[in-house]
């Protein structure tokens, strides 16, 4: 996972499980996306505030240090990063309601199929 250059098809994957994070990153990179990863919401906010500017954030909800709910609250309150769309990825049984509560742009239920992942990302990252 490298850097995301301004204007490129970039995705920030915020997921505490390294296997899931790396698998999602690999799938997206094979399709030509630039991907950065973060293991929790605090790390993701730090990257965003340091200038990493993805066109989409894939966000797990249950993570240590800073969970997805707190991350989204912080993101939405920062005008420099508030407009980046967020897709929640979770195994939560109430995923639709959880995504709506944090004003996510969409959601994907774990385990996520490759085609579902790619078609969802493509909706937000038209080249």
**Structural domain includes residue 3:** no
Domain enclosing residue 82, as ranges: 10-122
- pLDDT, residue 124, reads 85
Each residue's pLDDT tens digit, 7-45: 568 999 999 999 999 999 999 999 999 999 999 999 999
**Structural domain includes residue 14:** yes
Number of CB atoms found within 10 A of residue 7's CB:
8
Each residue's pLDDT tens digit, 44-87: 999 999 999 999 999 999 999 999 999 999 999 999 999 999 99
The 3-state secondary structure of the chain reads CCCCCCCCCEEEEECCCHHHHHHHHHHHHHCCCEEEEECCHHHHHHHHHCCCCCCEEEECCCCCCCCHHHHHHHHHHCCCCCCCCEEEEECCCCHHHHHHHCCCCEEEECCCCHHHHHHHHHHHCCC
Structural domains counted in the chain: 1
CATH assignment at residue 91: 3.40.50.2300
Q: Tokens 């991350």 identify what position? A: 71
pTM of the model: 0.92
**Structural domain includes residue 127:** no
Each residue's pLDDT tens digit, 77-106: 999 999 999 999 999 889 999 999 999 999
**Structural domain includes residue 4:** no
């Amino acid at each position: 996972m490298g850097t995301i250059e301004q204007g490129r098809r970039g995705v920030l994957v915020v997921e505490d499980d390294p296997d899931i994070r790396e698998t999602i990153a690999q799938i997206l990179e094979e399709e030509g996306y630039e991907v950065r990863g973060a293991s929790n919401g605090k790390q993701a906010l730090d990257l965003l505030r340091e200038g990493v500017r993805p066109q989409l954030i894939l966000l797990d909800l249950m993570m240590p240090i800073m969970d997805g709910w707190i991350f989204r609250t912080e993101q939405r309150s920062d005008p420099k990063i508030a407009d980046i769309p967020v897709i929640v990825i979770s195994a939560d049984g109430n995923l639709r309601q959880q995504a709506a509560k944090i004003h996510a742009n969409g959601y994907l239920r774990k385990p996520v199929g490759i085609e579902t992942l790619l078609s969802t990302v493509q909706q937000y990252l038209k080249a």
